[in-house]
Chains A and B, each alone.
Chain A
Amino acid sequence: MILHPPILALTLAALVSAGALVAASAFAVRLLGRWNLASGAQSQIDLEKRTYLVAVALRFAMAVEIAALVLFVFNADRMSAMFVGAMCAVGALNASVYGFPALFAKIALFFGASLWLAADIVDARGRDYPLTRWKYGLLIALAPLALAEAGLTIAYFLDLKADTLTSCCGKLFTSDRPTIASEMAGLDPRMALGMLYGGFGVVLAGAALARRSARARPLYGVVSLAFFAVALAAVVSAISLYVYEHPHHHCPFCLLKREYSYFGFLLYAPLFAGAALGASAGALGLVRTPASLAHAMPAILRRMVVLSALGFAGFVLVATWAIARSGLILTG
């Protein structure tokens, strides 16, 4: 255990948000059994009142989680100085078997919470709160994820020891052992960029389709997640090389450092927003539009699709800019 203030802060954040989600899902179980909006009974009115608390607590937890995700990566980067062989976040995350799973759990929870938030916003537009059961069902499904995230985060911090020998990003992203990371890095940059731009074409086509046709929206959700993966692969195999101006430095984390003027934030923020919006619109597209939302729901989903495509466009633009201004020439 290393007792840094950021570790204390992250542990606190994980406990608070997991606590909020678990308490909310306990309420969700109660709600699913008793929800009847037509009733004027006191018990129903009390349930409705409590949904306000759940809504505000989950928004708070989500804000905390997003901030914690950034702090987590930042802190891992800062801690890397303490581990032999670590030079950036990768090394610090690799210093314990729980490091990367904790990061992935945080990202998964971010997407889950985005979907819940989207469902909550859509639901509040219908006079009979038609998505309430769906939304609270989702909440119950998210609770184990939140617990896992908190558990992994705490396990990671408890497992850290200052004298751990770890490996830096140079190790992880070289291809002597077939791991996902090395596969991503080993991808030919030309092909990765081809997939990125080709994939962006598919995203645009999918968005145009999903704007018009409700049936295409789940498909767009799938396309969004696929593009998210393609984009991360492109960052590891090609874009990072251009940013570092170094033909073998494949690292998605060093981008977030001050040395590269926090370029990673500019790159990742629109990508995560685009993926979260796209995937949420896709998942909500699977729900049959309730009568009370006949007008509002398609309008919101359309807007989410457009914003998602804009997010992806922002990512592609920033990436292209990084490639264009780079001194490194990989493809001729």
Chain B
Amino acid sequence: MSGWWARQRYLLDYASASLWRRKGRNLVLWAIFAALVFILGSVILFGSAIRREAALVLRDAPDVVAQAMRMGRHDMALASDIAKLKSVRGADRIEGRLWGYLYDTSTDANYTLQTPSAHAPDLALQKGEAIVGEGVARLRKLSEGKHLFLVSPAGRLLKAKVKKVLSPESALVSSDLVLVSAEDFRAFFELAPDQFTDIAMRVRNPSEVGTVSGKGALALPHYRFITRANMARTYEALFSWREGLLLAIATGAILAFAILAFDKASGLSAQERREIGILKAIGWETSDIIRMKLWEAGLISVSAFVAGMTLAYLHVFAMSAPLIETVLKGWSTLYPRFALTPHVDALQVTTLAFLTLLPYIAAVLAPIWRTASADPDRVMR
């Protein structure tokens, strides 16, 4: 094993020197490779960051949401309707939710005002208390114990003491969030005590969701029932279509790159051919040359991969992906404003490696072999 590694080190040494001697030629390939990784990496990182945000939204979403409808528009749900739903078998944890949006003129931003669920005791609030998202805290320069002042469109003032700032686990879920007590919420938006924004239901058995929402629709014909699976599919359809489109274009780019790599690896200079011949004549074997050439390919591709990946990371998470934003704009209709939470996992890196390193290595294998299997007696002829 140590002998094997010692041999690889010598071959690696030669390979890196050989790359360096032809740096101009290799740099072009390196730069193209890095650019390809950068673009693909941006798409994949962006796509999976969005997916992750959506998954976090969905994870906390109730199994079924019932929205009251009037003249085809979303209307307030009534406490009496919640009572009717409680008779539907299979549904448990039925609660009315209070949430709404508030445009804050002082910071020129949209906030989501919401009351905490009765089933989240760690978020429970008294009158006059609030929990704010990380984004709100930043804009308003808030921290625990300070006071938050909000003015409703009708001119009502809300003053609440900040109990907690939510951790930025997911920017989309919590960044613009302001949690207040139900009493404050109703007073602020002037809601009657029996009014709710909508109704959330949990269903114990996942395969019963369809049946339960069907029964619910019978009990409350003027309500619209949206299951979590409906939401997931809507997200998925939107993501897949756009990401798929980009990836289809990227496939073409990968193919073009593989052809370029194949061409570069096949078209050796006379000088390089002569070198291989010399190496073979002085005692190197075909497999030594193949290994050396694979080291070359490995050095180029892995370093370009790391560089491209790092740039893609900065592009997506530090700069919110300005270069691919136009193509992916559809997503921004779902989320008016956001900065993605930095998140990279092994699956994405492995995927990107498969999509870039694999075609490259596959494309250069045959040319490398052809180079390496030159007859050793050629230098003497």
Binding site for B on A (CB under 8 A): 2-6, 8-10, 12-13, 16, 20, 49, 52-53, 55-57, 60, 64, 67-68, 70-71, 74-75, 78, 81-82, 84-85, 162-163, 165
Contacts and interface: CB of A to CB of B under 8 A. Distances in A.
Interface string B216-245: 000000000000010011001100100110
B332 interface: no
B148 to A, nearest CB: 34
Interface string B324-356: 000000000000000000000011101110110
B366 A53 contact: yes
Query: Considering the complex of A and B, which 6 residue pairs feature the smallest CB-CB distances, nearest first?
Result: A9-B354, A3-B244, A53-B369, A49-B373, A6-B351, A9-B351
A82 B351 contact: no
B247 A3 contact: yes
A10 B243 contact: no
A60 B361 contact: yes
A10 B206 CA distance: 30
Given A52-B290, A53-B366, A5 B229 contact: no
B354 A52 contact: no
A277 to B, nearest CB: 15
B365 A163 contact: no
B347 A71 contact: yes
B369 A52 contact: yes
A312 B373 CA distance: 40
B82 interface: no
B137 to A, nearest CB: 29
A74 B345 CA distance: 11
Contact of B206 (A67, A70, A84): A84
A2 B286 contact: no
Contacts of A71: 347, 350-351, 354
A10 B58 CA distance: 27
Contacts of B207: 84-85, 165
B362 A162 contact: no
A55 B286 CA distance: 12
Nearest to A163: B233
A68 B240 CA distance: 22
Contacts of B229: 84, 163
B350 A16 contact: no
A162 B294 CA distance: 41
A3 B286 contact: no
A2 B240 contact: yes
**Chain A interface helix/strand/loop/mixed:** helix
A75 B351 CA distance: 10
B239 to A, nearest CB: 9
Contact size range, B = 35 or more
B204 to A, nearest CB: 13
A60 B290 CA distance: 13
Given A60-B361, A165-B207, 14 more contacts: A5-B348, A16-B359, A16-B362, A49-B373, A52-B290, A53-B369, A56-B287, A56-B294, A56-B369, A57-B365, A81-B232, A82-B232, A82-B236, A84-B207
B45 to A, nearest CB: 10
B18 interface: no
Nearest to B294: A56
Contact of B355 (A9, A49, A70, A85): A9
B358 interface: yes
Given A3-B247, A81-B55, A56 B365 contact: yes
A52 B286 contact: yes
Contacts of A68: 354
B358 A52 contact: no
- Which of B44, B347, B359, B368 has the most C-beta atoms of chain A within 10 angstroms of its own C-beta? B347
16 contacts: A2-B236, A5-B43, A5-B44, A5-B48, A5-B352, A6-B351, A16-B358, A52-B286, A56-B365, A60-B362, A70-B350, A74-B347, A81-B232, A82-B232, A85-B206, A162-B237
B372 A52 contact: yes
- Which of A8, A55, A57, A67 has the most C-beta atoms of chain B within 10 angstroms of its own C-beta? A8
Contacts of B232: 81-82, 162
B347 A3 contact: no
